[in-house]
Amino acid sequence: MRTDQEKRSENLSRRENRASSYGSRYEEKNRSSTSGKRSAAARKRSGISRSSSRRSAGRRSRGSRDRRAAAVCFAVFAVLVLILFAGIFLLRKVGQDQSNGSQGIFSFLSGSQNVDVAPDVSVDLDSLYSPYAALIDKNTGTVLGDKRSDEVIYPASMTKILSVWTAIENISDLDAEVTMSEDFYNELYAQNASQAGFEPGETTVIRDLLYGALLPSGAECCMQLAIEAAGSEDGLVELMNQKVEELGLEQSHFTNCTGLHDDDQYTTTYEMALILRGALENETFRTVFTTHYHVMTATDVHPDGFTVWSTFFKNVADEIVTGGEILGAKTGYTQEAGLCLATMAQVGDREYILVTAGWSSEDVGSYHILDAFTGYNLLGEALGLEDESESDG
């Protein structure tokens, strides 16, 4: 029989063993729980990290998309700007083509340039009285008819075409007042030069001198224009010859601005036609050249002004030719040059220039004027406009 003391010792031992066993299981359970918590926390942190990474990636993706969208918007804007400027260019091109009588935008888009071409006709000028003649298309300079047009002639007062054109381009204010110099009148009187009617010392406006030089062929007007444009006649002549060089003319040379005879002043009917063609590009010159008559501004010498007439138009009943009309003219005559005439006419829907020179006879009639009508009538017939003019009549 065990004693009570032994039983108590055994019971105490069993309790200690159970406590120890329980403590081990508790610690194991506690470690397991702690480990689980740590694992869950780690998983949570991992999830947070992945979520953060996804959000960061999303932000980067959205930023990239925004940049791509901005680039697309900029590209679209640039294209629209280019289209706008292209549209403006095309509209301007259409306007230019329409003003030039071309095919407009269709010719531009097709890549072809609408080149102005003279009519494909040839006019025989052998029937003219004048021994020298040239007929050209004003727009292109193409020769449509010629009669010894490359032979040297004396230009007489056709010279004033170049004189006035050069003066216009070298005088800044054509409406300024000017007093006629007394220095050149005696020389003009001695050479029996034609005059418009201005007196020495008379005050007028420069623009009136243009009409005085071209319409009645006033030499005093040319001399005063030379002073206003270049300081002297020699100064203007130098500018005139510079103009000849600019035009590429090789058979023309000038020594004075009035057309009075000088053996060293010469041209050809073809080159004179080119000089007139260039001058007509100047709107002021064209206005004066195509005027039939002009009333001068009132002055102290002429308080009512005075009227000057074109030496051509005052001698013709009308200016009608086959298919058109003569628009402007400048006559010329010296004994050495014979009768000369430079004209511009519209025939059909184009403008042409005819220059004749050299007609000389004891019977100094208006054969140069007759030649002008004959030449343009022949042109109208060559263009097939004869029937149209007859039907209009």
How does residue 366 score in pLDDT terms, banded at 50, 70 and 90? confident
Lowest pLDDT segment from 103-107, 128-132, 205-209, 362-366:
103-107
**Per-residue pLDDT, 121:** 94
**Averaged pLDDT, 50-64:** 57
Nearest one of 295, 156, 129, 159 to 240, comparing CA atoms = 159
Contact 341, 355 (CB under 8 A): yes
Q: What is the pLDDT of residues 268-287, one digit of tens each?
A: 999 999 999 999 999 999 99
User: Cα(137)–Cα(129) distance, rounded to whole angstroms?
Assistant: 22
Residue written as tokens 């050479």?
A: 191
CA 271 to chain CA mean position, Å? 24
> Does residue 12 have a pLDDT over 60?
no
Q: Spell out the alpha helix ranges (H) of the chain.
A: 4-99, 105-109, 159-170, 185-190, 206-214, 219-230, 233-246, 269-279, 283-289, 367-382, 386-392
Residue of higher predicted confidence among 390 and 343: 343
Lowest pLDDT segment from 10-14, 56-60, 247-251:
56-60
Token pair for residue 139?
A: 């727009």
pTM of the model as a whole: 0.72
User: Cα(349)–Cα(138) distance, rounded to whole angstroms?
Assistant: 12
Contact 261, 251 (CB under 8 A): no
Give the H or E element holding residue 177.
strand 177-179
Give one DSSP letter per residue of 223-292, joined into a string.
HHHHHHHHSSHHHHHHHHHHHHHHTT-SS-B-S-SS----TT-BB-HHHHHHHHHHHTTSHHHHHHHT-S
**Averaged pLDDT, 358-374:** 85
User: Cα(237)–Cα(254) distance, rounded to whole angstroms?
Assistant: 7
Nearest one of 305, 163, 296, 321 to 234, comparing CA atoms = 163
**Per-residue pLDDT, 67:** 73
How does residue 38 score in pLDDT terms, banded at 50, 70 and 90? low
DSSP state of 115: -
